[in-house]
A = this chain, B = another copy of it.
Amino acid sequence: MGGPDVVVVGAGIAGLSAARAALAAGKNVRVLEARARVGGRTAGHTLANGSTVEMGGQWVGNTQTEILRLIDELGLETFPTYDSGAGLTVLQGSVVRYEDDSFGLPEEVGVQVDRVLQEIEGMADTVDLAAPWTSPQAGELDRHTFDSWLTANTTDEIALAFFRTVTRAIFSAEAHEMSLLHFLFYVSSGGSLDILSSTTGGAQELRVVGGSQRISERMAEELGGDVVHLEHPVHAITQDGAGVTVHHGTGEERAQEVIVALPPTLAGRLRYDPPLPSSRDGLTQQLPMGSVIKIQAAYDAPFWREDALNGQVVSFEDPLSITFDNSPPDGSCGVLVGFFEASHARQAAELSADERRGLAVDCLTKFFGRRARRLNEYVERDWAAEPYTRGCYGGRLGTGVWTQYGRSLVAPVGRIHWAGAETAQIWNGYMDGAARSGRRAAAEVTAV
């Protein structure tokens, strides 16, 4: 026959991990990818000077054991994110330098922040990662937004700004755009808010030599061109007693099982016959992606290091609210990466490309001084505008969604299995979670 046993829709880390695991289990696999490239929400870009920068997901952390194992298996290497020197926080109109883990907050604000952090971690510990809707206080935690909870639990304006900014940085969404339960689930899924927001010791600790897209490229190379079919956007999935038919732009594939490794909001746009149950359809009606425009500014050298700065900024008041030193491992040139996130991304998306670049460089200049104006190159990626992603970093669940629809996030529908970073219990929303979800979905189809 020669037809596949399993079709995988989407060649990001989740889909390729699924394909790889299914193949290892003896299945004949075919991967259909809409784009002309693999990698999904990871995408490398080569600067004019030959350095690679990551336009999508880029960091891995030391507790992300699945993606680290995969990187190792693929013969790739990591290197530490530059993290030496002082960080900068922008609050109340001032750029504040800090060298401890205070984020430059005034001491009395730090006390408030620590108190709220303790409460958050305590609540996060109560969330059942496998089934958040069964957590002891699930109904109450899912009834309010994280922002409603925040404003009820601190009146300190700087502390509020801190948590709202951190939320944007982690979710590329506003604190009022997700339920408290979702916020807590996500914190617990990654370990703690401290781990999620940290560089050394946290989720931003390491980078992949050659860029994170290499992970998917290596997997695709291993799978080979007979397995991975680019520019095959899938439009419809039909299943019956004997198998599943996956309809793409120019034909169809017949298989026993299909793994849909797309962001849930895109999975919800395929046509399914028979139609999906309302519990699953209702979920994908309300699992929107975050909003982020990622920018990279390249310089002759990482000049901020001369000022003993680590390149990391957290601004409570600028549209480009987060930056990192994203220079190549050899420091042969300087690169600052910055993020317009959540409402800032939506506003920045309305600007012309020139205006947006100007705004980004103005922010960098405010943070790092006028040398920041002397950039050699500027590149950006608006993930919400990408038709085959429609937002990063990941999907979020608003009030009521986990408790009403959460059980449909992972549960297969007949021969259809769901993968993707949003379906992960551990490191949900991250490359590590994507890889885990692929292996979990592959285990489902190989157990059939």
Contacts and interface: CB of A to CB of B under 8 A. Distances in A.
A387 B281 CA distance: 9
Interface stretch (A57-65, A144-152, A198-206, A237-245): A144-152
Contacts of A144: 144-145, 147-148, 176
Contact of A343 (B177, B265, B275, B404): B404
B288 A282 contact: yes
Interface in A150-182: 174, 176-177
Contacts of A269: 268-269, 271
A132 to B, nearest CB: 16
A245 to B, nearest CB: 16
A96 interface: no
A302 interface: no
A278 B291 contact: yes
A218 interface: no
A142 to B, nearest CB: 7
Contacts of A399: 145, 147, 176-177, 398-399
A287 B404 CA distance: 16
Interface string A266-287: 0011010001011101100111
B235 A382 contact: no
A400 B146 CA distance: 12
A385 interface: yes
B281 A390 contact: yes
A142 B289 CA distance: 19
A37 interface: no
Given A144-B145, A148-B148, A282-B346, 10 more contacts: A144-B147, A144-B148, A145-B145, A176-B399, A177-B400, A268-B269, A277-B349, A281-B390, A346-B405, A398-B399
30 contacts: A142-B176, A143-B147, A143-B148, A143-B176, A144-B144, A144-B145, A145-B148, A148-B148, A176-B400, A177-B398, A177-B404, A235-B235, A277-B349, A277-B385, A278-B346, A278-B384, A278-B390, A279-B350, A281-B384, A282-B289, A282-B346, A282-B390, A285-B287, A285-B288, A285-B289, A286-B286, A343-B404, A346-B404, A346-B405, A399-B399
- Ranked nearest first, the 4 interchain pairs of A and B with the lowest CB-CB distance are A278-B384, A285-B288, A275-B387, A286-B288
